[in-house]
Copies of this chain bind each other. A is one copy, B any other.
Amino acid sequence: MSLDARIAARLKRDGNGLVPAIVQQHDTGEVLMLAWMDDEALHRTLTTGRATYWSRSRGEYWVKGDTSGHVQHVKAVSLDCDGDTVLLKVDQVGAACHTGDRTCFDADPLTPVQGGVTAARAER
């Protein structure tokens, strides 16, 4: 079994055969992380309901939570208008980030350099 041909036909992969997958907590809307998928990872994600990625650093498939227990149960998957990005809505068990943070974006808010986003950040 491989990725449904109708989906594969819509997918626009980068030079390494990958598309970025944005992962979002389905109910709170938190953006948890970004990971990468090839056709097979997307196929496994759609058919198993468990978020599955391609690890660029390790060069292998990676079922989120298999080692950490921090599983992502897939609620919905959509492709963007260009077919080159996937949005995954999941129910995240525990921390999404390998650092133990809930999301991969918690630790590093960027300091505005010249006040461009100062006013906006003040409301956070």
Contact = CB atoms under 8 A, between A and B. Distances in A.
Interface of A: 1, 3-4, 6-7, 10, 15, 20, 22, 24, 26, 28-31, 33-34, 43, 45-49, 73-83, 85, 87, 97-99, 101, 104-117, 119-121, 123-124
Given A34-B80, A78-B110, 18 more contacts: A4-B113, A20-B20, A22-B31, A33-B80, A45-B116, A46-B110, A46-B113, A46-B114, A46-B117, A47-B112, A47-B114, A47-B115, A48-B116, A49-B120, A73-B120, A75-B117, A78-B109, A82-B104
Contacts of A30: 29
A49 B112 CA distance: 9
Contacts of A101: 81
A122 B54 CA distance: 27
Q: Among A31, A73, A74, find the residue whose CB has the most chain B CB atoms closer than 10 A.
A: A31
